[in-house]
Structure 1
């Protein structure tokens, strides 16, 4: 009986696989026919008051006020696939930036010290910079493989796009959608192109530990499952060569209520342990967050709690933004050693007041019990904190044009105020920061 069941199952799987190959071939119109061409313009203004001169600038001087303004462009051509059982394609991109305002005494470095303007080897802000890249790709049935300069997107490795231009990483990536409701991803990358630099050979490393020339690769694997009604599950893992192994798990539940509105809850968990040569020292960190929210009409409220268990901060890949902890915000990640953080959030979609495209967010986060006395290695600076705290208040407004020649143009205003408490000011900055971001995407598919 077992053998008969196994034989029938394998036959069914073969039929499904054959059907997937046929369907993929039928859906493939061609290299040009399925291609997309887009151009996105981003105008970015950055103003930061690092109060009491609490920021150390590029020249090692104490600085408080920072102001930068730049115009960027990101153009992408993503081809379809050639016809046949095995299809081939090509993705290309170009990025460019022009400085509109910001002198040497006002800017960061756009990479590790914030800001949006790139600097040259002498520390002077560049008036312009650009870079180009691309990737070759191949598709078999529902599986796609790409190699080149890519934009990986996962909870353990996510390209950074929170400044003027996005980060890319060089390596390979595979995506599989053979099973309904399940998307599988894996990749391995050997270098990074920082978000404010034109080169493609940047060293890997971590946001809080710095770049590491001896770390040769970062790899990741995992998947997202949405095959159960109202539930989303994510499981991922990664390895940063000679630094850490990191695993991630999350579950999100969202369900409409009979009394009206929608209830949502979820939990996220990261486990990070040092590996190999342990270039940053010993790492044993468990970070998790949980949340609960309710939405009705255009209103949504949410409460969340985040806990960092470990004598190191929760860390992530250099220049990326792979952090799915609920307290992470504009001014602070709320990820310091042993930190506990409560947060409250309110979101408004003004469509309920007859203003489609307008949204508003208000957040308050408070972190306490920061204790880094036992930190070591690359995180030794946290030893100065025995009983630290911090809080942040965020106000975000966004408007997206709904129709007409400027359709999809968006304007964002993001303001954050962050203050330290206890002895946390020994390593962190008090901050008032404003960002004004204008995004205007153009769809050029009419050129096909």
Structure 2
């Protein structure tokens, strides 16, 4: 983060606080210690790149402190997020590219790594300004949380609920810290090697009725792209325990600044229609989710236009290896593939079951299959790929291990546009309230 700006923010806030105000902050504070034990195993079953297998095991600790607010018309507060990762097992040849654990200069996994994030906040009426460390979950930017520690961003965000049934959000992101890193980087996209420090966004969610939500978001990554998102979510109750949910999403992404000119360092990788690395994409998807009792059936389709790959923030092409790892607001963004290549048409289906319906609360399972074709790459114009994921989660409901969570993720993919892979993740998590 810009520590000079943040320090100034805190200093101004502190000047305005009385002893009584500090008491208000502390009395409403909350602190939680989250622990995550994560085993990651990824086997690339073909291709010449080394190593062919990644295998890592680490323990993560995340201390999340959220203060209250001072009294008065304008309330001030500060949040803190302390993270520590400890390597339990890995080594040279099995730790690759800082995908989960940072690497040292000899490409060996470090013994431990840590980072601290501070966030100043100001609240007035039903609006809140936050500046510092952010973990956004928005259609135009989703922080990745697929390893032992999450990806974080630095910047400012305003959220307003002043109008009934309407939530407005806007802000600017300036830096990112990867899930396998302790260092900040600027912002970029896949293939981009030049950093941008200006990601502006604005949008909102409008609850039209109790069953219908409309969304619109706009984002601009300076010198790379502008993106507009339109979303519509509707839930139709068929009976007391049956419903049909419709989720429609549309992204319009165009080049901006230096990327429009195809300037070296700002080009994206992969297929582009004119071979110039310029972003030009339209992506839409539709999903229907039928829920009855304990199970849910999902069927959907996604279409990516053939101007370029679907694009959102991704720092993986920058010098810092730990910057890799990103998430996309797509139904098809799964454990191994994202099905977001130029021209790709993807059909997908998922079955999920909550075993509470059978008297086993805390146990949930799902399986999803995705199949994409018509992929355009620099080496072919009609390539195919598929992926199958199995997810199993259980949270202990009582006894000495109450609230301890156990998770298993198993994925398999075959692709003509990427290496074939098998992957397993084993996760044990637990959270302890401290305040």
- Report the TM-score, using the length of structure 1 for normalisation: 0.84
Give the conservation status (yes or no) of the 8 Å contact 1:158–1:320: no
SS at match of 2:185: coil
Look up the match of 2:5. none
Q: Does 1:276 align with 2:264?
A: no
Query: Is 2:13 the counterpart of 1:30?
Result: no
Structure whose CA Rg is larger: 1
Structure 1 residue 69 displacement after superposition? 0.3
Question: Corresponding residue for 1:83?
Answer: 71
Residue 379 of structure 1 is matched in structure 2 by: none
Is 2:52 aligned against 1:69? no
Pick one of 186, 192, 216 that aligns with 1:203.
186
CA distance in 1, matches of 2:329, 2:285: 9
1:47 aligned residue: 41
**CA gap 1:368/1:340 in 2 versus in 1, 3 angstroms:** same
**What secondary structure, in the 3-state scheme, does the structure 2 residue paired with 1:302 have?**
strand
Corresponding residue of 2:123: 139
Give 1:369 deviation, angstroms.
Answer: 0.5
Instruction: Tell me by how many angstroms 1:216 deviates.
Output: 2.2
Alignment of structure 1 residues 88-237 onto 2, 5 Å: 88-110=76-98, 115-199=99-183, 201-206=184-189, 208-213=190-195, 215-237=196-218
Which residue among 280, 289, 311 is the counterpart of 1:293? 289
Listed one character per residue, the Cα deviations across residues 231-290 of structure 1 (whole Å, up to 9, x for unaligned) are: 122211111110000111111111211496111112111111000111224211001110
Moved over 4 A (4+): 319-322
Q: CA deviation at 1:324?
A: 2.4
**In 2, distance between residues paired with 1:148 and 1:68?**
30
Partner of 2:278, secondary structure, is coil
Partners of 1:347 and 1:55 in 2: how far apart?
Answer: 36
Question: Shift of the alpha carbon at 1:109?
Answer: 2.1
Distance in 2 (alpha carbons) for counterparts of 1:95 and 1:317: 23
CA offset digits 1:67-100 (Å, max 9, x no partner): 1100011101110110011110001111010111
- After TM superposition, give the deviation of residue 159 of structure 1 in Å: 1.6
1:434: how far off?
0.4
Whether the aligned pair in 1 keeps the contact of 2:142 and 2:329 (CA below 8 Å) is: no
SS in 2 for 1:63: coil
CA contact (8 A) 1:155 1:322 kept: no
Q: Which shows bigger deviation, 89-98 or 218-227? A: 218-227
Count of equivalent residues: 390
Residue 247 of structure 2 aligns to a residue whose secondary structure is: strand
Q: Does the CA contact (< 8 Å) of 1:69 and 1:99 recur in 2? A: yes
What is the aligned-residue RMSD (CA, Å)?
1.8
Q: Deviations over 1:36-94 (max 9, x none)?
A: 10110010000111002x373xxxxx222221100011101110110011110001111
Cα 1:234–1:407 shift into 2, 3 Å: farther
Q: Which runs of 5+ in 1 are unaligned?
A: 1-27, 57-61, 373-382
Normalization by structure 2: what TM-score?
Answer: 0.86
User: Residue 121 of structure 1: CA displacement?
Assistant: 3.1
Q: Which residue of structure 2 lines up, in the alignment, with residue 247 of structure 1?
A: 228
Q: Identify the match of residue 419 of structure 1 among 403, 406, 414.
A: 414
In 2, Cα distance between equivalents of 1:216 and 1:394:
35
Distance 1:228 1:129 in 2: 47
Q: Which residue of 2 aligns with 1:5?
A: none
Contact 1:346 1:362 in 2 (8 A): yes
Q: Is the 8 A contact 2:141 2:329 kept in 1?
A: no
Deviation at 1:343, TM superposition (A): 0.4
Q: Partners of 2:208 and 2:404 in 1: how far apart? A: 34
The 1:127/1:310 distance shift into structure 2, 3 A limit, reads same
